[in-house]
Amino acid sequence: MAARPQIGNQPGTPGLKDAGDARGLEALVARAARAGKGLPPVDRWNPPFCGEIDMEIRADGTWFYLGTPIGRMPLVQLFSTVLRKDADGRTYLVTPVERVGIRVVDAPFVAVEMHVRGAGDDQVITFRTNVGDVVEAGPDHPLRFVDEDATGGLKPYVLVRGRLEALVARSVMYELVGIGEEIEVGGKPMFAVRSGGDVYPIMPADTLRRLSR
């Protein structure tokens, strides 16, 4: 039987906080990832909190470690598989034996592409994220729309997994809004989009008409 992957908190073994560069951190995270297909079961792991590391995900989806952008996409994709956002609102890198905090400026992922199939109640919107996740908006991956007070703009998000969301990129947002329609929600006319049998309100229909004048 193969030995269970172990990382950190083992005699003579450095932990996530001890990695001196992104390549060293890559080796540690890789040993924690489950072999084969699928994502590591981070939601089932309950390791102790071991402090913060100098990793940040910027609003545009760029990952930084020790103040330097991580330019290797396979490395970013690896790190993304062990991300978890907990009920405290913080985002962590999680392995079977340790949990370390990182900074996320907005959302950990960015939805960079969308595809629409079907129409009406059968319409399904599929998103691809910057790290390769593909999700269909619907009951398991709901959309939400947030008014950005600072700019007066609109920020759509789609749930990817757990509590981790993807911010829909601005170019994709225009495509998304382009398939919106007026739908009655709770007895009120709303400008909304449909996907996976659900309706996601964007704004009141009269607000859209006022903005369109």
53/68 Cα distance (integer angstroms)? 13
C-beta separation of 49 from 86 below 8 A: no
98/44 Cα distance (integer angstroms)? 13
Q: In terms of residues, how long is the chain?
A: 213
Domain for residue 76, yes or no? yes
Domain for residue 130, yes or no? yes
C-beta separation of 113 from 127 below 8 A: yes
What sections of the chain are H helices per DSSP? Answer: 22-32, 73-80, 170-178, 205-212
Low-confidence ranges of the chain (pLDDT < 70): 1-38, 149-152
**Residue 207: predicted pLDDT:** 81
Tell me the one-letter amino acid at 64. Answer: F
**Residue 36: predicted pLDDT:** 42
Q: How many domains does the chain have?
A: 2
Same domain? 86 vs 179: no
Residue 123 belongs to domain spanning:
109-212
CATH number at residue 127: 2.30.270.10
Tell me the one-letter amino acid at 28. Answer: L
**Residue 35: predicted pLDDT:** 41
31/108 Cα distance (integer angstroms)? 22
Same domain? 65 vs 120: no
Same domain? 20 vs 93: yes
Same domain? 121 vs 100: no
Overall pTM surpassing 0.75 (yes/no): yes
C-beta separation of 167 from 111 below 8 A: yes
**Residue 136: predicted pLDDT:** 97
3-state secondary structure of 46: coil
Residue 183 CB coordination number (10 Å): 17
Tell me the one-letter amino acid at 171. Answer: S
Tell me the one-letter amino acid at 59. Answer: A
Taking only the tens place, the pLDDT of each residue in 138-166 is 999 999 999 876 555 789 999 999 999 99
Domain for residue 10, yes or no? no
143/22 Cα distance (integer angstroms)? 33
- 58-94 residues labelled b (16+ CB within 10 A) or e (exposed): eeebebbbeeeebeeeebbebbbbbbbbeeeeebbbb
